[in-house]
Amino acid sequence: QKEVEQDPGPLSVPEGAIVSLNCTYSNSAFQYFMWYRQYSRKGPELLMYTYSSGNKEDGRFTAQVDKSSKYISLFIRDSQPSDSATYLCAMGGNTGNQFYFGTGTSLTVIP
């Protein structure tokens, strides 16, 4: 079983839709949770960073962490064609220095 599971999609939505992206994980020691956006042939770009449980909002993006269910989500409101990319969840614990990434979900926002 992989440390982090993420549905690869692809996901296709009309412009203006609300997008929900999710990851599950198995390691209860994870405390740091991140969402990265990766455009084709580019490196991942950090979108959201959350420590422990709870919600965090930044503009059109909301990240949620439910540690009891080992489940994290990223919501994108009023999606735009420029949001079309692969979204990667990543997480890590207090020990060690690596982050564990999901496989990424490919999102296309259709104008």
Partner 1 sequence: GAGVSQSPRYKVAKRGQDVALRCDPISGHVSLFWYQQALGQGPEFLTYFQNEAQLDKSGLPSDRFFAERPEGSVSTLKIQRTQQEDSAVYLCASSLYAQNYGYTFGSGTRLTVV
Query: Under the rule (CB under 8 A), what is the footprint of partner 1?
Result: 4, 6, 8, 31-32, 34, 36, 41-46, 49, 88, 90, 92-94, 96-104
82 sits in the region (left: phi over 0; alpha: psi -120 to 50; else beta) called alpha
Minimum CB separation of residue 15 from partner 1 in Å reads 26
Residue pointed to by tokens 């735009």: 80
Which one-letter DSSP state was computed for residue 70? T
Q: Which is nearer to partner 1, 43 or 111 (CB)?
A: 43
Q: Which is nearer to partner 1, 82 or 97 (CB)?
A: 97
3-state secondary structure of 82: helix
Check if the beta carbon of residue 97 is closer than 8 Å to that of residue 32: no
Burial 91-102 (b: 16+ CB within 10 A, else e): bbeeeeeebbbb
Q: Which is nearer to partner 1, 64 or 104 (CB)?
A: 104
Q: Which is nearer to partner 1, 18 or 46 (CB)?
A: 46
Minimum CB separation of residue 79 from partner 1 in Å reads 22
Minimum CB separation of residue 64 from partner 1 in Å reads 17
How far is 12 from 91, CA to CA, in rounded Å?
Answer: 25
Minimum CB separation of residue 25 from partner 1 in Å reads 12
